[in-house]
Structure 1
Amino acid sequence: MMNIKETIIFAPETFNLAETTRSIEVAKECSHVFHCIFMGYSKKYSYLIEESNFTFIHLEPHLSDKQITQIMNVDQMNGIKHPFTYEHIKERVQNEKRLIKIYQPVSIVIGTTLSMFISSRVCNTPLVYIKPLAYTRPYFEEGYLPSPFTSMNLLAATIKKLFISIALRITYKPKSFTKVAKEENVSLPKYTIDALDADYNLITTTPEISQVYNLPDHYQYIGPVYAKLDVPIPKFFDHLPTDQPIIYFAMGSSGSPNIIVKLLHILSELKVTVVCPMKRMIKSQLHKLSFNENIILCDFLPAHKISKFIDLSIIHGGEGTVQTACLTGKPFLGFGLQQEQRVNINQCVRFGNALSFRKKDFTKARMEQLINHALSTRTIKEKALEIQQVLKDINGPENAAKFLIKHFTVT
């Protein structure tokens, strides 16, 4: 007798590369048990889903490039206007409900697909959120807060306590969400931080890095989940110079083209070779750019396969990018574009395998100093190897799949 697979809907925000690839990696690990389908509101990275042989359903309202930029700006605290109007959320929820009714999934796995916090509850479908620990209730209650809260003096301790108290008690939720939730007879949690929790929260780090060892029952560590793009290593890696450091420089899908270009110009003046898979990100500016020959621009790379070629990474603080850098066993420099990314970087700074930098460091002298310090400091290099050992045998996608199979396989 042939068993009919139950369905799981994966609903990352498909304009976000990290969320999209994270969902793909988990789906690959459980597709032998479940029928895995994907939905999203942007086609920006949907081709990666289809190339992985999963069905992608594009729902309305479609997110335009302008709206995606608005979301990114709010996320990075560079703006306050977001596209999630009442009409937008209302249409999302209606179309999500329709999709759930058609496919009857045993679970929905999300990234920051906020409308699903309403739709899943309306349909009584368990919601699983694969996410970082940063800026969750367990993080604020037990976690390490980066600067300016690291000083041990009384003032810093008092400010830290007040900051945590406020963060745990904020009740703000966009009016569009609360209005649609009320119309759907869905009760959202009182506090903002709890409203961003799903029924189950799979945390994509390890306690050795987060230093948070006690999680609530609806939380579980699964370990790193990051992109493993099935593309070959380009031939140019076989011909890289051997007389100067090789730097991998990537800023993820949330990277700013202007920041990427500015750093590339600085790096082009240093005695380093830079491999930068950000060609797509800065394509609108390529016609007016000119770099020295030590800058190699390309498209997506299998970042998890190039550790033997590189000496150092320069990255933004997206958790998957940070973890990929950690798994190279080489130091990295991190430039966080928003608070969660700064937390991810600072956890590694605290561990000892990374250095952080800000816009004030965007000078030739300062970047040269940071690179030389990371490459010449024995303890940083030793810590880079140590964190590689911590993470190398943890299969985050497999752990997530085991969770889904255990909780949602119908026997």
Structure 2
Amino acid sequence: MCFFEKHLRGGIIKKTILFAPETFNLAETTRSIEVAKKSAEHFTCVFVGYSEKYAYLIKEANFTFIHLKPHLSERDIDQIMKVDQMKGIRHPFTYKMLKARISSEKKIIETYRPAAVVIGTTLSMFISARACHTPLIYIKPFAYTRTYFLKGHLELPSSLNKNYFPKELLKRIYTKTALRITYKPRAFVKIAKEENVSLPKSTIDALDADHNLITTIPELSGVNDLPRNYTYIGPVFAKLENQIPSFLTNLPKNRPVIYFAMGSSGSKEMIIRVLKALEQLPYTIICPMKDKLGMLEANVAWNSNIHLCDLLPAHKLAGLIDLSIIHGGEGTVQTACLSGKPFIGIGLQQEQLANIRDCVLYGNALELKKGHIATNSLDRLINYALQSSKMRERAIAMRELLKDIDGPENAAKFLVQKFY
């Protein structure tokens, strides 16, 4: 069967949308899946990626996944995560690797001739899609955009947030510096030139696609006027189709239930550190990080209040939990917000801190710095969140604010309007 016959439906050849999230990242992968589900009526949705870590979720959703070369190793993924969290400066995108990625991507684009390429933080596609003159769509949070730095609820990094200088002066200096940074890895600059692709001068603008679909909402960002190539679409987060495990319906009724997850970016050491602090407290802890911990799980003797399990359909847990403790990735934050319960955020990088900060300002969240994780600090924050009527009210108000916004549907409508 030829390529075009595969895409023939009812006598009409469907255009293709190519989804290219970084498939080692759970949030990016599931975000793309949710948008593809809503777009499949109008487009043939094809996925590509360099890691098979979460590719099984794509296949379970009945979409084609093509595993591109060069494959990402666990060491590569670890390096990318460390750079993302500002724990390191060495990344795996050498000239050789980047050249190979762009070659793979160009071949896929030339084969499928998609109407558009939809990405997460898939840096190589910023060159490949443009080299192939294919529209690039980036589904992303508001943080880490020029508009966010100029108009959003910018919080200074803790290293700068001191009392030595007026805070507003520091924010102005920090903003100006952030927007003037021009750093781009040498390999990207060199290959972009080889591909006749012009990269924006500033780093922050180099992370803009042709169209940017913003998963934040203006009520939280505080910004209504976006640039012309930006569109608010609202929450887009994982809606796993697996069933709620039976053990969750038989939990003790005499103590609060806390959902604790750190997504793709939480290290094994951090997860264990938080669990060891929580196991001494009078709460039932649900932690879907069993796969992440791997062999380390067998080396730790947990108390009976800790329930380690595989990935859960977190969006279905609202009636079973009293509080969430999360890392601050926007999809995880939005899932917690839609539960109508307060949450505690432990941000691991600036985008996550920004997402948490928006909810702290709204009143439905508390922040715990990653350097302050301890039994007493967690106990104090959990107690406050569970007992505060104001936080409960704001959590319910947040759920009401978000519940009727269908981010994936809005993204699909955008794709249909632009490319159908």
TM-score normalized with structure 2 length: 0.95
The alignment-based identity, stated in percent, is: 59
Aligned to 1:143: 152
Q: Secondary structure at the match of 2:18?
A: strand
Structure 1: unaligned runs, 5 residues or longer? none
Q: CA deviation at 1:361?
A: 2.8
Aligned to 2:343: 332
Does 2:241 match 1:230? yes
Q: Confirm or deny: 8 A CA contact 1:151 1:157 kept in the other structure.
A: no
Query: Could you tell me which of 167, 171, 174 is aligned with 2:182?
Result: 171
Work out the CA distance in 2 between the residues paired with 1:251 and 1:261.
Answer: 11
Q: Confirm or deny: 8 A CA contact 2:153 2:357 kept in the other structure.
A: no
Q: CA deviation at 1:280?
A: 0.5
Supply the AA of the counterpart residue of 2:217: T
Distance 1:261 1:153, change over 3 A: closer
TM-score normalized with structure 1 length: 0.97
Aligned to 1:100: 109
Aligned to 2:52: 43
Work out the CA distance in 2 between the residues paired with 1:309 and 1:355.
Answer: 20
Q: CA deviation at 1:94?
A: 1.0
Q: CA deviation at 1:95?
A: 1.1
Work out the CA distance in 1 between the residues paired with 2:295 and 2:225.
Answer: 47
Q: Secondary structure at the match of 1:280?
A: helix
Q: Secondary structure at the match of 2:248?
A: helix
Q: Confirm or deny: 8 A CA contact 2:116 2:136 kept in the other structure.
A: yes
Aligned to 2:3: none
Does 2:80 match 1:81? no
Aligned to 1:155: 166
Moved runs in structure 1, 4+ residues, more than 3 A?
147-154
Distance 1:133 1:181, change over 3 A: same
Q: Secondary structure at the match of 1:220?
A: strand
Does 2:399 match 1:388? yes
For 1:193-212, list aligned pairs within 5 A.
193-212=204-223
Q: Secondary structure at the match of 2:286?
A: strand
Distance 1:32 1:152, change over 3 A: farther
Supply the AA of the counterpart residue of 1:194: D
Work out the CA distance in 1 between the residues paired with 2:376 and 2:286.
Answer: 20
Q: Secondary structure at the match of 2:290?
A: coil
Supply the AA of the counterpart residue of 2:71: H
Q: Secondary structure at the match of 2:139?
A: strand
Q: Secondary structure at the match of 1:38?
A: strand
Structure 2: unaligned runs, 5 residues or longer? 1-9
Q: CA deviation at 1:170?
A: 1.0
Q: Confirm or deny: 8 A CA contact 1:250 1:315 kept in the other structure.
A: yes
Work out the CA distance in 2 between the residues paired with 1:407 and 1:126.
Answer: 10
Question: Which moves more between the two structures, 389-398 or 282-291?
Answer: 282-291
Aligned to 1:65: 74
Query: Deviation digits for residues 266-317 of structure 1, max 9, x if unmatched?
Result: 1111000001100001112012111110111100111000100100000001
Work out the CA distance in 2 between the residues paired with 1:308 and 1:24.
Answer: 25
Aligned to 2:287: 276
Does 2:140 match 1:128? no
Query: Could you tell me which of 42, 54, 75 is aligned with 1:33?
Result: 42
* RMSD, matched Cα: 1.4
For 1:103-122, list aligned pairs within 5 A.
103-122=112-131
Question: Which moves more between the two structures, 256-265 or 144-153?
Answer: 144-153
Question: Which moves more between the two structures, 143-152 or 293-302?
Answer: 143-152
